[in-house]
Amino acid sequence: MTDADTTNDPHLWLEDVTGEQALAWVRERNAEAVAALTGGERFETTRRRLREVLDADDRIAYPRRRGEHLYNFWQDAAHPRGLWRRTTLEEYRGGDPEWTVLLDVDALAEAEGENWVWAGAAVLRPDFRLALVELSRGGADAAVVREFDVEAREFVADGFTLPEAKSRVGWIDADTVYVGTDFGDGSMTASGYPRVIKSWRRGTPLEEAETVFEGKPDDVSAFAYHDSTPGFERDFVGRHPDFFSSEEFLRAPDGTLTRIDVPDDASTDVHRQWLLVSLRSDWEVNGTTYPTGALLAADFDAYLAGSRELTVLFEPDARTSLSGYAWTRNHLILNELSDVKTRLEVLTPGADGWARESLPGAPELGSADVLDTDPDNSDEYLLNVSGYLQPSTLMRGEIGGEVEVLRRAPAFFDTDGLTVEQHFATSDDGTKVPYFVVRGEQPGGPTLLYGYGGFEVSLTPGYSGGLGRAWLEQGGTYVVANIRGGGEYGPAWHRAALRENRPRAYEDMAAVAKDLVARGITTPDRLGMQGGSNGGLLAGVMLTRYPELFGAIVSQVPLLDLRRYHLLLAGASWMAEWGDPDDPADWAYLQGYSPYHNVHSGMKYPPVFFVTSTRDDRVHPGHARKMAARMRELGFEPKYYENIEGGHGAAADNAQRAFMSAIVYEFLLRTLAPEGGVGAAG
C-alpha cells in the first residue's frame, strides 16, 4: 500500500459499516477481547462498581430551568434509556422532589420496537407548552424529530415530525419552525449537515416549506434561529464555511438579510440591545487593534447602522483565557481560566459603562461551570463546582444575593492520601505545557495519561467516581495534559497546533510523558496513554511516533486514517483543523503523522486497545477497524472492541458504559500493573 493511493488500501472493505463481512470481522475481534479481558473477579467487580456510580440514586439530578419548572433527563438501573421529567424549584430544594415524568424513553422504545436513545428537546418559549423532541437509534448523531405536548405528556398528533437525519430544527412560534434536514439531492453539505434552511408552517407538507437561506455545498452547515426575547424578537440565519468560521445575518420580516460585519473567525452573540464579539484573531477597527481571545461589546442596532464603538469586556494575557460566558437578565457572567484554574466575574452594563466584580464559587484547584441561567426573567444562575478529588456541588444564586447549595454529589471513592498537583513540562520548542497529577502516597503504581489537544477544547479539573474506583483506588496515578490544540490559553493556544503545526500537540504530549519520568512519578513501562475522538488520533500518534515512552495505549472512537477521513461521515467538517488530504501540500504533512500510514513491521509498539462504536455516525468506525487490521497484518496483536450501538460516546446506556469502561481499565491494569496493582477494589 502506498501512502497516497487509497485504491490499494487492502482494508477498505472494513469501511462498510454494517456490511456482513465487516461485521463478522468485528464480532471475531470482540470475542477475542471479551475472552482475554473479561470474566475475572477484578473485571466483574470493576464493572459492578462502575455501574453503581452511573446508576446511583443520590447523584445530582442536574436541572435546566424552563419557565416555572426545572427539567431533568435521568437514567438509572430501572430506567436505562431514561426519563424526561420536571419539578419546581421549591420541590427541588426539599431534597426529595416529586418529579412529573413527561416521557419514559424505555416505555416508548418497548412500545415501538425501536432502540431509542434520548437526544434532547427544544421547548417553545415563553409558555414552554410545546417541545421538539429528538430521538436517535442506538445513539447516533442522526435523529428523528417529533413534536411533544409537555402539559398533555404526549406526542402531538399530526405535529411537526422529521425522519432520521442530522437535522437542525428550532421554534419560530407555536405554528412555525426553522428546519434544515435532508430535503433530497443537494440539501446537505459535504460534511453531512443541513445546507438549506426553510420555514415550515404547521399543517403544511414539508415539501411546501419556504426556503429562507442556503449555504454552499462545501460549507460545514447552515443555520437559522429565532430570538423570542420580549421586546427584542429577531431572526438570524447564516453559514459555517468551516469549523471555525461563520457568516451571520439578521433576517428582517420581509426576508432581507443584513450581515453582522465581524471577522469570519469571530463568533457573535446578541442579547437584548447588546452584541458580543469573541475574537479568534487580532482585529483592527478604526486604528485600534483588539487582540486574539478578547470579548467585545457593542450596541447591536448602532453597530448594524455603522457604529464601531466597541468596549473590551475581556482581554487575555499570557496565562489567562476566556472559557465561556452566560447572560442573566441584567448581567454577564464570565468564566475565565488562569493556568487552567477557574475564575468567575460578573459584568453589569450601566450608564457609566460596564461594572465588574468577582463571583464567588470557584475552587483553587478545580473548575466552576455555569450550567444554566434564566436570561428572560431573572438574574438566577446555577453553578456546578468540582475537582479531581472534590465531588460536584450544585449551587444556585442570584447576582448580588446569597449563594445556596442545592445538591452535593456523593463521594464514590476514598481520597485519603491522594493529592492534586500541577506541573509544567517543556516542549521541544520551549513552550511550557501544564498538566495535572492525581496520585497517592505510595510510588510505583501504574500511571494513566489523558489528553485531547484539539478544536479549542479545554480539559479542566473534574470529579469522576468511575475513575476513582477503577483506577485511583487500584493505586493508579492519573494525569491530564493541557497540550496545544486545546483552548486552555485561548484561540492562540489552539491555533499553535493547527494543520501543519499539529505535531506541536504531539510534541507537547511526549514532553509531558518524559517529564513524568524525569520527576520520578512513573516509568515508561508503567505509563499508559488514553484519548478519544481527536484524542484517539493523539493516542494513535503516540503509538506510532513515540512508542518507547509508553507501556500501553488506549485509542477510543479514533481518527487514524488521515488520507480518507474527509470522505467518511462528518470528516469533511474538520479540514480546518487538520487539512485537506486531497491538497498535495496538506497531504505532505498529514502523511507524516497519520497513524494508519506510519505503523510498520519490525517496530516495538506498546500493547494497544482500539475501542469504537458501529453506530458512531460522526467518527467512522472504519478508522479503528482498519488500524487494527493493519497491525494484525504486520504481525502485531492489538486488542479491539466495537460496541454495536452507542454513537460517538460508544455506549447507549449505563450498562454499556460500565462494560466499556471496565474492559478498558482491565486492559490497562493487566498491561501496566500485571502483578495486580497497589490497591484492591472493594
Active-site residue set: 533, 648
Distance in angstroms (rounded) separating the CA atoms of residues 682 and 677: 14
> Are 240 and 220 a contacting pair, CB within 8 Å?
yes
CB 341 within 8 A of CB 318: no
Q: What is the DSSP string of 447-486?
A: EEEE----TT--------HHHHHHTGGGT-EEEEE--BTB
The H or E element that residue 213 is part of is: strand 210-214
Residue partners of 306: CB distance under 8 A and separation at least 6 = none
How far apart (Å, rounded) are the C-alpha atoms in residues 380 and 521? 44
d(CA 304, CA 310): 13
| Cα distance between residue 422 and residue 61, in whole Å | 31
Q: Helix (H, G, I), strand (E, B), or coil: what is residue 572?
A: helix
One-letter amino acid of 536: G
CB 159 within 8 A of CB 152: no
| Measured distance CA(368)–CA(383) in Å, rounded | 7
* Among 573, 585, 651, CA closest to 612: 651
Closest by CA position to 511, among listed 567, 549, 468: 549
Contact call for residues 435 and 448 (beta carbons, < 8 A): no
> In DSSP terms, which residues pair with 382 in a beta bridge?
372, 396
Q: Burial, 150: exposed, middle or buried (Cβ in 10 Å; 0-12, 13-18, 19+)?
A: buried
d(CA 499, CA 574): 10
Query: Cα separation of 441 and 429, whole Å?
Result: 33
| Rounded distance between C-alpha atoms, residue 255 and residue 267, angstroms | 23
Angle between helices 584-593 and 503-518 (to 10 degrees): 20
